[in-house]
Structure 1
Amino acid sequence: MRAMVMERQGGALELRELPIPQPSAGELLLKVAACGICRTDLHVVDGELTEPKLPLIPGHQIVGVVEALGEGVAGFRPGDRVGVPWLGGTCGECDYCTSGRENLCDRALFTGYQKNGGFADYCTADSRFCFPLPAGYPDTQAAPLLCAGLIGYRSLRIAGPGKRLGIYGFGAAAHIVTQVATWQGREVYGFTRPGDTAGQAFAREMGACWAGGSFDAPPLPLDAAIIFAPAGELVPAALRAVGKGGIVVCGGIHMSDIPSFPYDILWGERSIVSVANLTRRDGEEFLKLAPQVPVRTEVHLFPLEQANEALAALREGRIRGAGVLVP
């Protein structure tokens, strides 16, 4: 099979010919149909997440067709279409796992980080952490649901039921969350890089009632804000935008340092919370919800061998919606 391989962090991925992996007990062998490109992939490749398996095949928004089953697999058969998310395995025994918080498991394994991912023609995955995908979504349209959609959904749920929602960083997750939030009857306020008029127009196209630069004041105090951009300086900006009792949700796995800020923008029972990974329950709930909205994903397609170009486009903010690799 062909695979885009990371030999070291900070370097370009290399196109390699590798043997097709064989599924171990409990695993599925998947023929990859599409794999979304996520900012987390950038954090892995650029070295901001520091504990990858090396060499590594990145990619954790995988849509694939079951080719073979490892010993003991139940609930799947060859020909099934499944999705593989970031959370690739947990211990199942710790306090986090046994209290419905498996996303915090200290022994978790992550797809495209500690386990080879979907920047390849084939991959294997733990069947317990794979999802059947809703009908009606082509492979490339379904791929962004598996991280941008799932972490966006978890962030939205943690943000609470407030009516006025700000979203900072209008990329793959934001364009999905906006559709869900407006379907729920909320007002969405989109924040982009200053001067990014194309991104602001995209936010309004997805349903935002207002769009502006990251440090602009919204016309009304927000009930909650979700930050998807990995920029710590947006936390004080979001705190200033939310009203008393408002919550600021940091929805990324990595963020630059948060600068100091005056206590008065936190006072008034405002709060800051991070979102870590996802649970299988998040996946089941969101993949059931997405067709009801229905969520429409905007995708920019790249052939597998152009993974480096795709990552560069994401890094530079040149992708509208979500990037997807197609073998």
Structure 2
Amino acid sequence: MHAIALNSPAPLDANPLQWREVDTPSPGIGQLLIKVAACGVCRSNLHMVEGDWVDGGVPAISPIIPGHEVTGTVAALGDAVEGFAVGDRVGVQPLWWTCEECEYCTSGREQLCHRRKITGEHVNGGYAEYMLSNAAHTYHVPESLDLSEAAPLFCPGITAYGAVQKLDLGPGATVAVFGLGGVGHMAVQFAGLAGADVIAVGRSADHLRVAREVGATRVVDATAEDPGEVLAESVDAAITFAPSDAVTEQALKALAWGGTLVAGVPVSVSGFPFNKAQTIKASILGNRTQMNEVLALAAQGKVRSIVDRFSLPNAPEVLGRLAAGKLRSRAVLENRTE
């Protein structure tokens, strides 16, 4: 098969990614071989490729095939696999494997498993014509969903859903979403489904247009005005997907007394105003039940991902567009070479 392989992390302009022929893997016990249809392109892919996470042991193997939001069809079954058949439409998210034994795995919080393996970071991922998946963390994709449009449901979708689920939203509530890329435009939709008025805050004209398209009640252009000032103490909840201390500060300024900030990215906080009785929560992905809920909502037409499609060999160029902020929403690599 052919795949995009990373031999050694390096800046994109050093061309660390290669489109080349590699051995097609064979599924082991409890595994599936998936013929990839599409793989979303995540900023975390860029961090790994450029070596930002080397000190944390990522990538865990070398060479490695990136990509962790994948859809395709089952091409072969390993031993002891139940519930899947060759030809099934399936998807894989960042959680490739968890231990199923720890306190997190046994309490519906498997995304916190300390032994977890991440697709495309600890094992080969979806920037390839075929990939292996762990059947216990593989999902059936409803027939009504386009496989390319479904791919981002497996990272932006579950990430946004998990963040919104940490809030008590309903009619009359106001939530501001800071950072409107692949994850943010999904959070706008999930918050809207909960009945909240959703304010979308971003810097990209394309991102703001997409936010309006998917139902934002109001948009705030952070290049034209300070969101913290214009929204001061007016929102019941804020969700941040922009890894910027300045954005965190703006979100806290926008938050009403007693409000909740959910951070989907690292944050640094100084001078936290304890007298306002505000709450900060962190959120990462979601559990398997929530992943299936995301797929069901998408199948019902209640949420959708906005994607720009590219062919798989163009992954380096697409990552460059992501780094430059030149993507409308979520880029998806399709398993085609034309």
Please say if 1:273 is aligned against 2:281.
yes
Please say if 1:229 is aligned against 2:229.
no
Which aligned pairs between 1:154-193 and structure 2 lie closer than 5 A?
Answer: 154-161=162-169, 163-193=173-203
Instruction: Report the secondary structure of 1:158's partner residue.
Output: coil
In the alignment, is the contact (CA less than 8 A) between 1:159 and 1:225 conserved in 2?
A: no
Please say if 1:21 is aligned against 2:25.
yes
In structure 1, distance between residues paired with 2:2 and 2:334: 12
Amino acid at match of 1:127: A
Amino acid at match of 2:306: E
Deviation digits for residues 59-82 of structure 1 (CA, Å, limit 9, x no counterpart): 011101101000110000100010
In structure 2, distance between residues paired with 1:268 and 1:293: 39
Shift of 1:199: 2.7
User: 299, 303, 311: which one pairs with 1:295?
Assistant: 303
Partner of 2:4: 4
In structure 2, distance between residues paired with 1:174 and 1:44: 21
In structure 1, distance between residues paired with 2:133 and 2:8: 23
In the alignment, is the contact (CA less than 8 A) between 1:28 and 1:69 conserved in 2?
A: yes
Instruction: Report the secondary structure of 1:29's partner residue.
Output: strand
Please say if 1:241 is aligned against 2:254.
yes
In the alignment, is the contact (CA less than 8 A) between 1:87 and 1:278 conserved in 2?
A: no
In the alignment, is the contact (CA less than 8 A) between 1:58 and 1:117 conserved in 2?
A: yes
Please say if 1:261 is aligned against 2:261.
no
Instruction: Report the secondary structure of 1:94's partner residue.
Output: coil
TM-score, scaled relative to structure 1: 0.93
In the alignment, is the contact (CA less than 8 A) between 2:3 and 2:21 conserved in 1?
A: yes
In structure 2, distance between residues paired with 1:176 and 1:263: 28
In the alignment, is the contact (CA less than 8 A) between 1:90 and 1:105 conserved in 2?
A: yes
In structure 2, distance between residues paired with 1:92 and 1:67: 26
Unaligned runs of 5+ in 1: none
Partner of 2:231: 218
Instruction: Report the secondary structure of 1:117's partner residue.
Output: coil
Residue 164 to residue 293, structure 1, CA distance change in 2 (3 Å): farther
Amino acid at match of 1:178: V
In structure 2, distance between residues paired with 1:303 and 1:309: 10
Amino-acid identity (%): 38
In the alignment, is the contact (CA less than 8 A) between 1:179 and 1:293 conserved in 2?
A: no
- RMSD, matched Cα: 1.7
In the alignment, is the contact (CA less than 8 A) between 1:119 and 1:325 conserved in 2?
A: yes
Amino acid at match of 2:44: T
Amino acid at match of 1:218: L
Amino acid at match of 1:289: L
Shift of 1:202: 2.5
In structure 1, distance between residues paired with 2:129 and 2:189: 31
Amino acid at match of 1:32: V
Shift of 1:92: 1.2
Please say if 1:73 is aligned against 2:84.
no
Amino acid at match of 1:190: A
Greater Cα shift, 179-188 or 59-68: 179-188
Deviation digits for residues 133-171 of structure 1 (CA, Å, limit 9, x no counterpart): 122111111111111101110011013325111111111
Shift of 1:285: 1.8
Provide the aligned length of Structure 1 versus Structure 2. 320
Amino acid at match of 1:204: R
Unaligned runs of 5+ in 2: none
User: 63, 77, 100: which one pairs with 1:55?
Assistant: 63
